[in-house]
Amino acid sequence: MDQMKRIRLVSNSFYNTGLELARIRDLTGAVQYLQKCLNLNKYHIEARNLLGLIYYEMGEISEALVQWVISMNFQENDNRADHYLEQIQRKPERLEVVSQNVKKYNLALQQAQSGSDDLAVLQLTRVVEANPKFIKAHLLLALLYISHEDYTKAGKSLYKVLKIDKNNPKASWYMSIVKARTGKAEIERRKIKNAFSHRQMQDDDVIIPPSYKENTGWQSVLNIGAGLLLGAAVIFFLVMPAATKKLNNEHNQEILQYNEQLNQKNEEISSLNNSIETYKSDKDSAEEQLNNFLNSNESVVNQYSILVKILQAYRNNNLTEAVSLYAGFNPALFTDEKDLAIANAVKQDIETNGYQTLEDLAYTMWSAGRLSEALSYYQTCLSIRPDNPKVIFNMAMINRSQGQTDTAVQLFTQVVTQFADSEYADRARSQLAELAPQSEAAGAPGQSMGNQNPSGTEPSQADSGNSGAAGTGTAGTGTAGADTGETQPAADETQAPAGESSAPEESSAAGE
């Protein structure tokens, strides 16, 4: 029991000593005694709170928080540490700044150790500006200044440290180095020597006062006038230029701010104009797509219109009109099941019962000189029955008459290669011999062409194999047309369709 009491007494003695040292701002010595006190009695709340305050004063906020949190764990009620923690928690941004300063200090320490003194000085300068009481940062900054022989800045940093902790051993040591390098140590030594080297006054020593001369009135006026002139000169040459410069700087800053605001507004206006142009472009594009969609054959609206017209033609028993409308009909675009069933039924009926009518209609358009429509109808025929060489041959003839030589050659070649056994193969070879003599299909052996025109078979000649009487009459007409130079469809070799059994008028009647 006596030993525990003795430990408390020694602990309290260390605490009292540390408290006295803290009052005279010997913080380093106070920390040492307070740590000894806590080593003997870790439950000494006053010593731990005081140690936290000293750490806080030295700029080591994290160490202070540690001591106060430990103190609260030992004594939750009636503890000043609670007040300290509450004050810090009211300013969370302060803790964030402290955390950033500690990181910057550690980074500066690493940079200094790696030889990047300039970067370390820059980091430490920012740290001490944010936390002027951070002693470790001041000491490291002073050491870097000393290493670069910048003793003036080093002395300023050390002076701030000694103002906070007047007996800091590192600061005192660095200060002695600075004074020795700058010669201030010798000056201070001489001052101290002179202060104690004067002879003490004796009782019979006489003090002779300096002479005194009382000023006259004119001298006072002159002195006042000189003072006024000097004051006016100071105001004119020192105060006014500084004030004018300050006003100019303020005006320049205002102008810069207005220019920045104006630029921002101009950028916003430009951005809005660009957005308007983009929206207009999108609108025009959407309208164009809508018009194309509504007006094109591929649109659902047009397909419904074609379907209605085809059904109306069926009601009127006009198969020719239904077949002509079928060229632009696409049942695949219908989505409704009922409508799709009707469209498929129409498609099947036309492809089964209306094919010949469609072919005759194509012939009629060709005979009338409407070559584009004839090609469209022939193309529809080909989509229904792709193995019809007569349709392909007639399409080739139409393309030839339109000057589409390449397309005509392709179609003639298709007849020769895919339908070599048909009656149109030899005709296609004769056409290829004229259009593309170097073509392999043109040079292939074929049937005898002695009775055929080299430039193509006339309608009458094409029909001679099907109807002798009609062929004879038509042939006569074709010969007459050739003699007179006429270019009628029934006699023109490059326009008239081959393989039909009657004249265009008769084909149209048969189609109906």
Q: Of 135, 165, 189, which residue sits at a domain end?
A: 189
C-alpha 424/C-alpha 403 separation (Å) is 21
Q: Are residues 347 and 495 in the same domain?
A: yes
Q: Is the pLDDT of residue 351 over 50?
A: yes
**pLDDT value of residue 189:** 56
Is residue 131 pLDDT above 70, yes or no?
yes
> Where residue 191 falls among pLDDT bands split at 50, 70, 90?
low
406: phi > 0 → left, psi -120 to 50 → alpha, else beta; which?
alpha
Same domain? 70 vs 114: no
Residue type for position 139: L
Q: Are residues 353 and 436 in the same domain?
A: yes
The confidence score (pLDDT) of residue 490 equals: 33
What is the per-residue pLDDT for 403?
87
The pLDDT confidence band at residue 471, using thresholds 50, 70 and 90, is very low
Q: What is the CATH number of the domain that holds 338?
A: 1.25.40.10
From the number of C-beta atoms within 10 Å of its C-beta (0-12, 13-18, 19+), residue 106 rates as exposed
Query: Do 126 and 75 fall within a single domain?
Result: no
- Kindly report the average pLDDT of the chain as a whole number: 76
Say whether pLDDT at 163 is over 80.
yes
Q: Any alpha helices (H) in 296-388, and if so which ranges?
A: 300-315, 319-326, 337-353, 355-367, 371-384
What is the percentage of the chain residues whose pLDDT exceeds 70?
74
Number of domains in the chain: 3
Question: Is 491 found in the same domain as 343?
Answer: yes
> Which of 90, 123, 152 is the C-terminal boundary of a domain?
90
Is 154 domain-assigned?
A: yes
44 and 183, same domain (yes or no): no
Q: Tell me the pLDDT tens digit for each residue of 408-449.
A: 888 989 888 988 888 888 888 888 888 877 655 555 444 433
Q: Indicate yes or no: pTM above 0.85.
A: no
Tell me the average pLDDT across 265-274: 90
* Structural domain boundaries, residue 110: 95-189
Determine which of 102-116, 176-190, 409-423 has the lowest per-residue pLDDT on average: 176-190
101 with 67, same domain: the answer is no
Q: Same structural domain for residues 80 and 113?
A: no
Residue 403 Rama label (left phi>0; alpha psi -120 to 50; beta): left
Flag whether pLDDT at 255 surpasses 70. Answer: yes
Cα-Cα-Cα-Cα dihedral of 119, 124, 125, 128, to 10°?
170
Residue 235 clears pLDDT 60, i.e. is over it: yes
Q: In the predicted model, is pLDDT for residue 78 greater than 80? A: yes
**pLDDT above 70 for 314:** yes
Q: Among 7-11, 175-179, 212-216, which stretch is predicted with the lowest mean pLDDT? A: 212-216
How would residue 355 be classed by pLDDT, with cut points 50, 70 and 90? Answer: confident
Examine residue 319 and state whether it is found in any structural domain, yes or no: yes
pLDDT(302) > 60: yes
The answer to whether residue 254 scores a pLDDT higher than 80 is yes
pLDDT tens for 386-406 read 888 988 999 989 999 988 888
Contact 27, 164 (CB under 8 A): yes
